[in-house]
Amino acid sequence: MLHEMGYNYARAGNSQYFNPATYSLLELPSYTMGSTEKLLTRTRKAPEELQPGQILIFTIHGVPDILHPDYTTTPEHLESFLQLIQQRHYKVIALRELGEYLPKASVNVTAPCLATEDVFYDDHLGRR
């Protein structure tokens, strides 16, 4: 149904890495980034355990998220996270670009990759 409505991708949460060989593009696992103790621990741990062939998708609700404080990411934590991914030389893409990294004939991601939701990519990195 989602595909019929024009959606190519949909995230499902679950705090798991996306493996293109085993997950549906309309049920992408993702990690919720946040500054609460529970989410901050997951946010910091997720890139450290990322393996070749896996894609890490983060959902970023707001920097800060005033309406949903349990899911807020402080500017300081976002800056710290961005420094971490820069130091590790991860490729950051918008979710809308995911298809460029998924060959149609054989899905084979050879390096770790991080994807963000388009809202974060557009609003917080100033790219449109």
pLDDT by 10s per residue, the chain, length 128: 777 888 888 888 889 999 888 888 888 999 999 899 998 898 889 988 888 888 999 888 889 888 989 989 999 999 998 898 888 888 888 888 888 888 664 444 445 555 555 454 444 444 43
pTM confidence score = 0.73
Are 50 and 112 in contact, with CB atoms under 8 Å apart?
Answer: yes
Structure tokens at 8: 């190519």
Q: Which helix (H) or strand (E) holds 27?
A: none
Sign of the C-alpha dihedral, residues 22, 104, 11, 112?
A: positive
Return the number of other C-beta atoms located less than 10 Å from residue 105's C-beta: 5
